[in-house]
Amino acid sequence: MWTTTSLWFEIAVVSIIYALGNILLGHFEERTPKVRRVGKYLLTLVIVCGISVMFGRSGAMIFLSAFILPLVYIHGYYLPKKKGINGWTGEPKAKYYEYRKWDKDIFSK
């Protein structure tokens, strides 16, 4: 009954990654439009499923795993060292909002 030979496995893996990402790192995307966030998820899902169909599950999982390196680089080195922003909390908020080119006056709307 339960099999991992279908694309549902890839869909589940991508969905779990996005769910955990939103829970743990969602504060980095608090002012990003919802349409863009959903679009990013759907695009990732289509790409991973396409890679899985063309190159197999191993290719799709390697593709997903390759995103760990930029994540660690951006949150562990680039934001703290180059921009003066804590890579895990997004603080100070004023610097992070400036970096993302968001309006810093969040209470005016």
At 107 the pLDDT is: 54
DSSP-assigned states of every residue in 51-102: HHHHHHHHHHHHHHHTTHHHHHHIIIIIIIIII---TTT--SHHHHHHHHT-
Rounded to the nearest integer, the mean pLDDT of the chain is 88
- Checking if the pLDDT of 93 tops 90, the result is no
Whether the per-residue pLDDT at 2 is higher than 70: the answer is: no
Rounded mean pLDDT of 36-62?
95
| pLDDT at residue number 109 | 55
**Among the listed ranges 4-8, 20-24, 46-50, 66-70, which one has the minimum average pLDDT value?**
4-8
